[in-house]
Structure formats: structure tokens, C-alpha cells
Structure 1
Amino acid sequence: MKELAYYDGRIGTPEELMVPFQDRVHFFGDGVYDATVGGNHKVYLLEDHLDRFYSSAKALDIKIPMDKKELGELLTKLLSMVEGNTHFVYWQVTRGTAPRDHAYDEAMLGKLWVMIRPNKLKDPDVPIRLITMEDTRFLYCNIKTLNLLPSVLASQEALKAGAMETVLHRGDMVTECAHSNVSILKNGTFLSHPNDNLILRGIAKTHMIQACYRLGIQVLERAFTMEELMDADEVIVTSSSNFCLHADVIDGKSVGGKDPVTLKKIQDAVLEEYLEYTGRDSIFD
């Protein structure tokens, strides 16, 4: 199978599976999700992603229909059924099916979805372009919900501008990107927004910070400004499907490129962890 879909115990292709009309996702976007890379048929950083997934569901009182161990085994089994070496592994849980009503039955059991498709990691040596936008999302960004319309609009603006991502900011304070975390290097120090309710706790970012500690690079988890972003020695963008990319243009202005040695050390450490975890020889197929 080249691409797999799973819904509430049924397996097929994305075109084959049907979702009940009254699944609350259709009316309210009522659910949470998580995603990572599958390398060599291993779900990368599985435990970290499961912890975040169950934490998000608990924050919204959504009941996942199986425990972490069972879900981990299911994801691993489903990944083994898909052809190829590198995959995008995505899963979500919706609150369940019921006639449309804002209030819900607290005993309702959630519906589990999984999608697995081929994926290619981007070359970390190739710089990316970014744009910026005011962050107008709600104040629960730490929960990985399915309510992603602001991120959809921000991503579309990046596409129209010929950029890969949009950096979001609340006033002068940088938060994160539309679907990534953004951090900076300045004078040998790694700076990144703290894990509060204004950003999603990025697992790739967390492991990059751990790599910095191993390398003896100072880390400051504090909010930084738009001015600091534009003046940074390096601008680093991370996500669960692209671990450590760097930007050279923001809003049409050149940025970064001032500390390639430290950047490369971090990139190499992050990629080494991925290759060791998955047993791969290279990030490229």
C-alpha cells in the first residue's frame, strides 16, 4: 500500500474510507492531532508524540479510545503496511459522533483517525524564505487542536509570497510559525519562545534544545522581538517533519548567515539522533 488511512478500526486508502456525517469534527473541528516522520518503518520519537497527543486530548476532555501503548503499537503496525522508507505519520482523535449540539456527552468515546503517506525531508543545507504576520489566533496554542484556519491563511500567504513559512508575532513579540517553531542564534546563544499557551510545545524544538545542551551551547527560553529576529545570527525553523531548517530571507530582507559553524553543529546533532533512532544511513531516499 502506498498511502494508508484508518478510521475507527477500518483500514483503506484515503479515497476508500468514509467518515460519519455526524462526527463532531465536521461541525466544530472538535478534536486534536499529532504527527511525525516515519523512518525505516519506525515512528520517530513515538513516545514524545504520544505524550503530547494525550495531553492535548485531556485539555479538551476528549477520550481517546485506547491507551498509549496500544496506540503506539497500532501506529507502528500501520506504518509497516506502507511502502517506502520515509513517511509522514499523522493521527487525530475527534470527540465522537452525535447530533449537532455545542454541549457534549462526557461519556462519549472519541474516534481515532490515522493517515500515512510518503514523505521527503528537506535538505537542511538549503535556506528557506519566510514572511511575517500578526498572530491573531486564540490563546490555546499549546493544545494541538484541529482548528487551524488562521494557520491555513498564514500558510497560504507564505505560498503566494514564494516563501515556505510565516512567522507569527503578537505586537513586537515573536511566537511561532504557522506550522513550525522558530528560534534564533545570537552571539553563540540559542533563543526560543518558552513553552507557554502562545505556542505549541514543539518536539523537534525540544530535541534541538537538548542537542544544544549536549554541545555546550547556551540556551535561553524567552520571548524575543521582531528586531531580534531580523538581527539574529541565524534563524532556525523546526517541525516534526523538518527538524532544523534555516532562513536567509524574511519579508524580502536578508537575514542570518552569520554563524554557520554553530548552526551546522546543531543540525548535525539533530540529524544524527534521527538516523540513530530509525537506523537510516541518510535522510534522503
Structure 2
Amino acid sequence: MKTLGYYNGKYGELDEMTIPMNDRVSWFGDGVYDAGPSRNYEIFAIDEHIDRFFNSAGLLDIKMPVTKPELKELLQEMVNKMDTGNLFVYYQVTRGTGIRDHAYTEGPGNLWIMLKPAEISDGTKPIKLITREDTRFFHCNIKTLNLIPSVVATQKAKEAGCQECVFYRPGGRVTECAHSNVHIIKDGKLITAPTDNLILPGIARAHIIKACKKLEIPVSETPYTLDDLFNADEVIVSSSSNLCLHANEIDGKPVGGKAPELLEKIRVAVLDEFYKATDK
């Protein structure tokens, strides 16, 4: 199959799938999601993603309709049905189905899965960024379906000929990007925002930190500002779709390019881990 969808036990090509109008996603965006890459029919870091998925659901009191092992098995079964093993594997759970009411619907949630072909960037080509004030709420650590600020920011980046948008809070604290984490290298150290309620604890972020520690590169999980971002030796953008990218421009101003050897060590280490984990 070229694409594949799943909804509460029903399978089909994505353009054939339908959902009930009373699924709470329609009225409230009431759900959480997670996603990651597959290569050679091997889903990368699947246990980490499923753990985060269940944690997000638990923080919103959503009852999961499957166990972790059941979900893992289901995802792998679906990946195996595809024409290619290089995929974007996306899954979400909504709170359930019922007549519109702000109060929670009782019972287990609805499970959705979506698979489509996708490739991971090797991170060698630099990207361009814009900045935008972070107007999201204070539960950014939960991977919810309420993504309007991120959607708008991504569109603004696209219109500016850029690939991502960096969010900042009042006072200039950098949090994350519209759909990525962002980190800086300064004086030989990786600096990344702490995993508080203002950022999503990215899986790729965790693998970059692990790679740095293996390479004996110091890591500081502390807040940093827009000034720090623009004056960084290098700017790294990471997500499960693109594990380790680097930026050379923000808001039309050149950035980075001051620690290329260190950046390359990190990029190679992260991509090597991905390739080894997904080799057949």
C-alpha cells in the first residue's frame, strides 16, 4: 500500500478513511499524538515514542484503548503492509465519541494511525528560520492536537522562504520551534532548553544529548534567549522527522558557521545511530 490509515480497527488508504462527526477531535481537538520515522521497515525509537504517547494521554486523563505492547505490534504490522519501509508513522488518540459537551466523554479513546512515505534528511543542507512570539498555552510538554499557533507559524515561515519558526516567550526566552526543538552550540557546549512545561521533550533532542555525552561534549539544559540564539556558534534544529538539522539564517540574518567540526561530529553520531538501528 502507498498510504495506510487505521481508525478503531478499520483499515484503508488514507483518502478512503472516514471518522464519526461526534469524535471529540471534531469539536475540541481533544486528543494527543506522537510520530516517528521508519526506515527499512524498522520503526526508530519506537519504545521512547510510545512511552511519551502514553504519558501525554495520562496527563489529560485520556483512557488508552490499547496497551503499549499492543500498539507496538499494531504499528509494526501496519508498516509491514506498505510498499516502502521508509515512512512517517503517526498515531493519535482522541477522548472518545459523543454529543458535543465540554465535560469528558466516558470510556476509552479512539485510536488513529496514519502511514505515508517519507525520508529522513541527512542534515547536511542548512535551513533558514524565522522567529515569532510563543502564544501557545502552558502545557507544551503534552503533545496535544491543539496546534493552531504552530500551524500559523509554519505558514509564516513558508511565506518567508524558511523551513521553521523559532518561538520565544516574553523577555526573549527561546522555547522551541513550531514542530521541532532548537538548540545552540556556544564555546564548545550544547545548550538546550530544559524540559519544563514550555517545550515538548523531544525524542530526537534526547538522542542529540546522548550523542553529545558520548562524544564528551558538555550539555547544559538551561533557558537561553534570542540574543544567545543569534550569537550562537551553531544553531541545531531537531525533530523525529529530521533528526539533526542546522540553520545558517534567522530572520534574514546569518547565524552559525563558527563550530563546523563540532556540529559535524554531532550530526554524524546522531545519523549513525539512526542508520544502525534501522539497517536490515
TM-score by length of 1: 0.97
Task: Name the residue aligned to 1:169.
Answer: 168
Task: Name the residue aligned to 1:128.
Answer: 127
Structure 2 counterparts to residues 142-157 of structure 1, below 5 A = 142-157=141-156
- Specify the code of the residue in structure 2 equivalent to 1:272: D
- Specify the code of the residue in structure 1 equivalent to 2:173: M
2:234–2:263: 8 Å Cα contact kept in structure 1? yes
Structure 1 runs of 4+ aligned residues shifted over 2 Å read none
Task: Name the residue aligned to 2:203.
Answer: 203
Q: Give CA-to-partner distance per residue, 1:256-282, whole Å, 9 cap, x none.
A: 0100100000011101110111116xx
- Specify the code of the residue in structure 2 equivalent to 1:262: L
Q: Give CA-to-partner distance per residue, 1:65-101, whole Å, 9 cap, x none.
A: 0100000000011011111131100000001101100
Does residue 108 (structure 1) correspond to residue 103 (structure 2)? The answer is no
1:78 match: secondary structure: helix
Q: Displacement of 1:244 after TM fit?
A: 0.3
Structure 2 CA distance for aligned equivalents of residues 85 and 215 of structure 1: 30
Task: Name the residue aligned to 2:182.
Answer: 182
- Specify the code of the residue in structure 2 equivalent to 1:131: I
Task: Name the residue aligned to 1:257.
Answer: 257
Q: Displacement of 1:121 after TM fit?
A: 1.7
Task: Name the residue aligned to 1:283.
Answer: none
2:122–2:271: 8 Å Cα contact kept in structure 1? no
Q: Displacement of 1:122 after TM fit?
A: 2.1
Structure 2 CA distance for aligned equivalents of residues 68 and 42 of structure 1: 17
Q: Which runs of 5+ in 1 are unaligned?
A: 281-285
Structure 2 CA distance for aligned equivalents of residues 228 and 158 of structure 1: 21
Q: Displacement of 1:123 after TM fit?
A: 3.4
Structure 1 CA distance for aligned equivalents of residues 38 and 19 of structure 2: 25
Structure 2 CA distance for aligned equivalents of residues 162 and 231 of structure 1: 22
2:42–2:85: 8 Å Cα contact kept in structure 1? no
Q: Give CA-to-partner distance per residue, 1:161-188, whole Å, 9 cap, x none.
A: 0000000000210000000000000010
Task: Name the residue aligned to 2:43.
Answer: 43
Structure 2 CA distance for aligned equivalents of residues 196 and 275 of structure 1: 30
Q: Displacement of 1:43 after TM fit?
A: 1.1
2:184–2:233: 8 Å Cα contact kept in structure 1? yes
Q: Which runs of 5+ in 2 are unaligned?
A: none
Structure 2 CA distance for aligned equivalents of residues 64 and 38 of structure 1: 23
1:15 match: secondary structure: helix
Task: Name the residue aligned to 1:95.
Answer: 95
Task: Name the residue aligned to 2:9.
Answer: 9
Task: Name the residue aligned to 1:222.
Answer: 222
